[in-house]
Structure 1
């Protein structure tokens, strides 16, 4: 028994499947997944299974009859998707139907949709009864999953990462853009899904390493050779330089290795035990609140 990584059609994520034989890469196989039997593509060499691993199963190599059935189900699913979209517009349902997918035995049909708020979709089930006897499963997906299933082009001109190679959606924050000294323009930092670009995480760890050797923004520094002193206005982590503005308003671009950081004024001492604790506007005792 070996474990084969397989990929389904609408996602680049690899799923480990237990198989009795090592099918070659690129083979189409019938697998038993969570939803039922489906067609998948082998995307890697077989490995030994782990003792406590949880796997699906490769049932067999896909036959020509399996592939023909799969293509027919895809065509029917596409027709049903447009039918349901029309019915949703007639009922004025604020929902976007992204995909309709059958299992190979047509025992289950999964309808992936996105909506800004909770919505009742039971009225659409009756529209399906005249076209299939499969059980109906509505699956709500987010903007990133929607872009993954549909496939879009990113700002780089290539297909979006979520449709090509990303295995999981790692958390992305605006702090990553700040650390990389990127302009905080939502249009440039957002992907086709409307969320922050997944690629902001790729080089973030390297930027953190580079920033350790640079003074912080707004810190006061002096140039060792010329003696010019000023405030750091901009960082250039890749070049290892910073821009400083002197008290006279002159701007300099200098290597960070040639700068000497000035001692900052000591922080105020904490109140003694006899001093009554201060309260902020919310009445919280002894708590520092950002922006207050």
Structure 2
């Protein structure tokens, strides 16, 4: 028994599935997943079976009849999606219908939707059942899952990471943007989904390591060569340099290796206490 990495159409995530045949990469296969039989694609070489992993099953290589039926069900799902969108608008439902997907045996139809608040969609079940006898399942998806399923272009001009290669959605914070010295502009830091860019996490660990070699922003430092002291105003982690605003009113770009911590000046309160004594 082989373990093959399988990819479904609307997600880049790889699902390990058991197969009696080591199908080549790129082979369209029929698999038995959580929802039922579906058509997917082999996306990697056979791997090792893990004891505690739960696996689906590759039933067989997809035949021309399977692929023709799968394409027909995809067209039906697209038509039904646009119909449900129109009915939702007519009824004033604040919801976005993202995708309508059938299983290969047409026993289940999954309607994926996005909404800002909890919403009752039972009024749309009748619309679905008027076109299919399949069991209906409504599945709520978040902004990132929505962008993953639809697919779009990122700010880099390439396909967004969530629909291209991401295997899971890791937490992303504004701290990551600060560590990378990026302008805190929501329009530039947000992806097509409206959330913080997933790619902010890709190099964050490397930036954290580089920042450990630099003084903190607003720290007082002195240059070993010139002896000029001032305050750190900006960090350049990739080049190992910092901007220092000197006490003489000059802005200097200097290597962090040539800086040392400025000597602490006695506090005024301590001076007064010493004089009164």
- Tell me which interval the TM-score lies in, with the shorter structure as reference length: over 0.9
Q: Does 1:45 align with 2:55?
A: no
Counterpart-to-counterpart distance in 1, 2:207 and 2:52: 38
Counterpart-to-counterpart distance in 2, 1:51 and 1:117: 40
1:16 maps to 16
Question: Which consecutive unaligned segments of at least 5 residues does structure 1 have?
Answer: 267-292
2:198 maps to 198
Q: Does 1:256 align with 2:256?
A: yes
Counterpart-to-counterpart distance in 1, 2:158 and 2:48: 35
Once the 2 structures are TM-superposed, how far is the Cα of residue 263 of structure 1 from its aligned partner? 4.8
Secondary structure of the residue aligned to 1:26 is coil
Once the 2 structures are TM-superposed, how far is the Cα of residue 50 of structure 1 from its aligned partner? 1.8
1:174 maps to 174
Once the 2 structures are TM-superposed, how far is the Cα of residue 35 of structure 1 from its aligned partner? 0.3
2:59 maps to 59
Once the 2 structures are TM-superposed, how far is the Cα of residue 152 of structure 1 from its aligned partner? 0.7
Please, which moves more after superposition, 244-253 or 214-223? 244-253
Q: Does 1:75 align with 2:41?
A: no
Once the 2 structures are TM-superposed, how far is the Cα of residue 265 of structure 1 from its aligned partner? 7.5
Counterpart-to-counterpart distance in 2, 1:178 and 1:211: 11
Counterpart-to-counterpart distance in 2, 1:35 and 1:264: 66
Counterpart-to-counterpart distance in 1, 2:152 and 2:53: 34
Once the 2 structures are TM-superposed, how far is the Cα of residue 182 of structure 1 from its aligned partner? 0.5
Q: Deviations over 1:258-290 (max 9, x none)?
A: 001125589xxxxxxxxxxxxxxxxxxxxxxxx
Once the 2 structures are TM-superposed, how far is the Cα of residue 245 of structure 1 from its aligned partner? 0.8
Counterpart-to-counterpart distance in 2, 1:225 and 1:263: 16
Q: Does 1:100 align with 2:81?
A: no
Cα distance change of structure 1 residues 265 and 167 upon mapping to structure 2, 3 Å threshold: farther
Q: Deviations over 1:74-104 (max 9, x none)?
A: 1111110011011001100000000000000
1:89 maps to 89
Secondary structure of the residue aligned to 2:58 is strand
2:240 maps to 240
Secondary structure of the residue aligned to 2:104 is coil
1:215 maps to 215
Once the 2 structures are TM-superposed, how far is the Cα of residue 130 of structure 1 from its aligned partner? 1.5
2:142 maps to 142
Question: Which consecutive unaligned segments of at least 5 residues does structure 2 have?
Answer: 267-277
- The 4+ residue runs of structure 1 with deviation greater than 2 A are 262-266
Q: Higher helix proportion, which one?
A: 2
Q: Say whether the 8 Å CA contact 2:7–2:42 is kept in structure 1.
A: yes
Once the 2 structures are TM-superposed, how far is the Cα of residue 48 of structure 1 from its aligned partner? 2.7
TM normalised by structure 1 equals: 0.89
2:273 maps to none
Q: CA RMSD in A?
A: 1.3
